[in-house]
């Protein structure tokens, strides 16, 4: 389905947190943006717990997230968590593998650094070490998307960001990304693409830090014959030092503020005001 057709329908948005840490203000903003865009278009706002990483996931955090969202004054529909959908990822990966679009990579992070990888949009760009060598069966392998082959199959692709306008897919800043992790049946890229399609998401809302990832997702949609949503990457909240708000920099968890008796709805209003001041609530 084309983007233009989707635009007229009530949007389906989602908030997709990973239960491996508390939610902070940046998450609250993402959830509020997704919620309000759905509401403004008489659409649906979905919550999906992205718990694919079983070793890092803490199930009790999913409950905490629900309490946080309710505290912010949001209403949502919850869809199945990623851990229930592993079979669909395996099936998609097998289809891509059968078409020669993935290759196994046994490199460790150290190997990639030693191979002289250049910095890209999301960490180092994989230098393609394993692309032309037979896999070593004694080492665990991830599976990477052969970006050149993928492009040859899909031809030029575009996607539409509600704020930034039409975007031409360009995978050169990301390289051959991991589609199947060494320890899991999917990477973030494959899981989120499959899930957004399965959930009927028509407007993918998330922070601008994931802007480049949408090139990968658009490519996977084309390769797998999935419907194409629109995207809305909202600007990131910055702290007083002008740096991205992140858990590791000690931004207080929503749960902490909630338990301290702060008014969540008031906080939600403040975040919306801040977004307006960033100049891009549309
Ligand atoms: N689980 C991902 C995260 O927490 C979701 C990102 C997205 O919205 O695509 O960052
Ligand atoms: Zn490799």
* pLDDT score at 165: 97
Domain 3-278 belongs to what architecture?
Answer: 3-Layer(aba) Sandwich (3.40)
* pLDDT score at 69: 98
Per-residue pLDDT of 26-79, as tens digits, reads 999 999 999 999 999 999 999 999 999 878 889 999 999 999 999 999 999 999
* pLDDT score at 30: 97
Strands 77-78, 44-47: pairing is parallel
The tokens 């309000």 sit on which residue?
36
Buried b (16+ CB within 10 A) or exposed e, 60-71: ebbebbeebbeb
Whose CA is closest to 270, among 232, 234, 237?
237
Whose CA is closest to 163, among 104, 207, 121?
207
Tell whether pTM > 0.85: yes
User: Is the pLDDT score of 282 beyond 50?
Assistant: no
Q: Determine whether the shortest distance from the Cβ of 50 to ligand 1 is under 6 A.
A: yes
The closest residue, in CA terms, to atom 10 on ligand 1 is: 17
Do 246 and 24 contact (CB within 8 A), yes or no? yes
The closest residue, in CA terms, to atom 3 on ligand 1 is: 17
Distance 82 CA to ligand 1 centre (A): 12
Per-residue pLDDT of 129-157, as tens digits, reads 999 999 899 999 999 999 999 999 999 99
User: Is the pLDDT score of 201 beyond 80?
Assistant: yes
How many other C-beta atoms can be found within 10 angstroms of the C-beta atom of residue 281? 16
* pLDDT score at 98: 98
Contacts (Cβ under 8 Å, ≥6 apart) of 60: none
Distance 16 CA to ligand 1 centre (A): 5
Q: Determine whether the shortest distance from the Cβ of 28 to ligand 1 is under 6 A.
A: no
Distance CA 141, CA 163 (A): 38
Strands 158-161, 44-47: pairing is unpaired
Distance 172 CA to ligand 2 centre (A): 17
Atom of ligand 1 nearest to the CA of 205: 8
Per-residue pLDDT of 4-23, as tens digits, reads 555 578 999 999 999 999 99
Q: Determine whether the shortest distance from the Cβ of 210 to ligand 1 is under 6 A.
A: yes
């Amino acid at each position: 389905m084309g983007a233009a057709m989707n635009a007229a329908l009530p949007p389906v948005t989602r908030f997709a947190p990973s239960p491996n840490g508390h939610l902070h203000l940046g998450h609250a903003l993402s959830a509020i943006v997704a919620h309000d865009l759905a509401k403004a278009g008489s659409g649906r706002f979905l919550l999906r717990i992205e718990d694919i990483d079983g070793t890092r996931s803490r199930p009790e955090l999913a409950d905490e997230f629900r309490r946080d969202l309710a505290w912010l004054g949001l209403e949502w529909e919850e869809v199945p968590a990623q851990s229930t959908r592993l079979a669909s990822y395996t099936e998609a990966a097998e289809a891509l593998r059968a078409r020669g679009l993935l290759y196994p990579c046994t490199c460790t992070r150290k190997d990639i650094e030693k191979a002289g990888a250049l910095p890209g949009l999301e960490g180092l760009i994989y230098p393609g070490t394993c692309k032309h060598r037979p896999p070593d069966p004694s080492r665990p392998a991830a599976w990477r998307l052969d970006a050149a082959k993928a492009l040859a199959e899909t031809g030029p692709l575009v996607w539409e960001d509600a704020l930034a306008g039409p975007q031409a897919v360009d995978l050169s800043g990301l390289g051959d990304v991991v589609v199947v992790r060494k320890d899991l049946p999917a990477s973030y890229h494959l899981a989120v693409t499959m899930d957004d399609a399965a959930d009927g998401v028509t407007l993918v809302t998330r922070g601008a830090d994931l802007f480049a990832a949408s090139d990968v997702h658009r490519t996977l949609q084309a390769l797998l014959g999935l419907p194409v949503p629109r995207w809305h990457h909202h600007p990131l909240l910055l702290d007083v030092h002008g740096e991205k708000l992140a858990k590791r920099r000690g931004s207080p968890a929503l749960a902490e503020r909630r338990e301290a008796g702060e008014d969540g709805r008031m906080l939600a209003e403040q975040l919306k005001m801040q977004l307006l001041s960033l100049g891009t609530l549309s």
